[in-house]
Amino acid sequence: MKKQVVLYKKLSAPLMACLHEQAEVTLIESLDADGLARLRDALPRAHGLLGASLKLDAELLDLAPDLEAIASVSVGVDNYDIDYLTERRILLSNTPDVLTETTADTGFALILATARRVVELANMVRAGQWSRNLGPAHFGSDVHGKTLGIIGMGRIGEALAQRGHCGFGMPVIYHSHSPKPAVEQRFNAQYRSLGELLQEADFICLTLPLTAETERLIGAEEFAQMRPQSIFINISRGKVVDEAALIEALSSGRIRAAGLDVFEREPLNLDSPLLQMDNVVATPHMGSATHETREAMARCAVDNLLAALAGERPANLVNPSVWKD
């Protein structure tokens, strides 16, 4: 008998066909009130779940007594109570690696857009306000040769370092749990304490996961250590930053600009002061949002889920203590 899979993310036709071939599939097409009600109705029969952007807490998963595996179409796993899943021996998998390069592309796009004021000046042209040659009031700042500071030297941080070092001749400094000798050798990168990095870097880029340790890692005290010419980039998670402190740092001129792909609350509230600031480039959590990468992520998640339901170890298991060889 086929296992029951509840899918709360629509997949491409080939991936849907692959799932239907090996499992009975219930598709929840939206996560509005009706969709969440359908999800709750389907959970008691579910052996596997696949999706993204939904917080799966104990209250919800208690409705799924036969649940064996969850495949998240993401690299971040902050929507899951891993201790709870491990206690219930539910396999959780994610999709690292396949989104690394694309997310690093997004990070560097934000670096360039903020430094060269691309969005601000493009909007000026669209508004018909380009009436003369640009003067100093509209000048941006160079990227090449500037110091790139990366907080969180994992896969995405390393890919960002490669772009900065190899493509733009940027000295790379970084802060992480521990020094990364291989990264230092490849990119001539240098380890710094958090405070040292904040004081030295021209571009301060967050590429670390959201955990209890990293939540609100960057707040008023940290922004106070940055320089007026610093540009702040966040492609990690919104809650790693105290957003109110960021707004104050931007409005007061404590830092020059920010490129933000993630926010404390998503979608970003329409009344957020960030949307009124010319020195902010705000994008809608688009880090991995290309056709190629999203399909690769979904394919990885399907492979992870089908392996788990077949009694095989998923390639990207988040809670390995659940697995017994």
Q: What DSSP designation does 78 have?
A: T
Spatial separation of the C-alpha atoms in residues 170 and 165, rounded to whole Å: 5
* Crossing angle of helices 100-115 and 118-126, rounded to 10°: 60
> Which positions ≥6 away from 66 have C-beta within 8 Å?
4, 44, 45, 46, 47
In degrees and rounded to multiples of 5, residue 173 shows phi and psi of -120, 155
Q: Of the residues 192, 285, 294, 299, which is catalytic?
A: 285
Q: Which of 294, 300, 162, 152 is nearest to 237 (CA)?
A: 152
Spatial separation of the C-alpha atoms in residues 205 and 201, rounded to whole Å: 9
Q: Which helix (H) or strand (E) holds 109?
A: helix 100-115
Determine whether 266 is an active site residue: yes
Residue type, 151: I
Sign of the Cα pseudo-torsion (96, 97, 102, 103, in order): positive
Determine whether 285 is an active site residue: yes
Spatial separation of the C-alpha atoms in residues 203 and 146, rounded to whole Å: 8
Spatial separation of the C-alpha atoms in residues 228 and 254, rounded to whole Å: 5
Angle, alpha carbons 254-234-232 (nearest 5°)? 25
Is 166:104 a contact under the CB 8 Å cutoff?
no
Token output for 165: 């070092």
* Crossing angle of helices 100-115 and 155-162, rounded to 10°: 50
Determine whether 68 is an active site residue: no
Q: Of the residues 237, 254, 256, 299, which is catalytic?
A: 237
Q: Of the residues 29, 215, 266, 292, which is catalytic?
A: 266
Active site residues: 237, 266, 285
